Amino acid sequence: MTTTADTDYIRDLATTADETAAWLNTVPDAVARWRPKPGAWSAIEIIGHLIDSAANNHTRFVRAPGQDDLVFPGYAQNEWVRLQEYAMAPWNEVVTLWHAYNRHIARVMAAVPLDVRYRKHDRHNLDQLGWQPYSADEPATLDDLMRDYVLHLKHHLTQIRDRVRDAQTPGASA
């Protein structure tokens, strides 16, 4: 049986996606494209990165129950953002995709049985894929990866709030 503590981060993901999408839809297009310095990601590119993270982690969450390990491929984050040209995409479309994808991921997470989510795997590469530090020598669970996904997302949402604030500060330029 699933308990409240077991699903807090899943509910948090869904709520965060809803609340953040509502706020992002109020952000002016020019602000979403503002860079704090040359070469740094704009808010729209950070949302694009979060879409890429969602795509990669969605695949991991769906495949993990059928695997004996938690070993997954990584991806070239900067290249993905560049190749998909998020910087030129319509802001509202990027926000809509990010929101819908994360609502879907919350449903996927909730559908994974607890015994699968908490099964310990000696073989994993969370030390390479995870946003938080993980030891390659310690067992990891799918739950660890799912929680890490939410923490990574929230980290980048803080960056976006900072970008938006800074872009709206008089004299901001890049």
Q: Distance between CA atoms of 89 and 23, rounded to whole angstroms?
A: 18
- Domain of residue 21 covers 4-167
User: For the chain, how many structural domains are there in total?
Assistant: 1
**Per the domain annotation, does 156 fall within a domain?**
yes
- Tokens 């953040």, located at residue: 20
**Per the domain annotation, does 73 fall within a domain?**
yes
**Per the domain annotation, does 107 fall within a domain?**
yes
Kindly report the CATH number assigned to the domain that includes residue 163.
1.20.120.450
Q: Distance between CA atoms of 60 and 131, rounded to whole angstroms?
A: 15
Instruction: Report residues of the chain scoring pLDDT below 50.
Output: 1-2, 4
Tell which residue, 5, 21, 13, has the closest CA to residue 104: 13
Q: Distance between CA atoms of 142 and 114, rounded to whole angstroms?
A: 10
CA dihedral 155, 160, 163, 166 (to 10 degrees): -90
Q: Distance between CA atoms of 65 and 112, rounded to whole angstroms?
A: 8
**Per the domain annotation, does 25 fall within a domain?**
yes
Q: Which residues pair with 140 in a beta bridge?
A: 121
Tell me the pTM: 0.93
Predicted pLDDT at 143: 97
Predicted pLDDT at 168: 85
Tell which residue, 112, 142, 150, has the closest CA to residue 2: 112
**Per the domain annotation, does 174 fall within a domain?**
no
**Per the domain annotation, does 87 fall within a domain?**
yes
**Per the domain annotation, does 86 fall within a domain?**
yes
Q: Which residues pair with 124 in a beta bridge?
A: 70
Of the chain, the end-to-end C-alpha distance in Å amounts to 52
**Per the domain annotation, does 173 fall within a domain?**
no
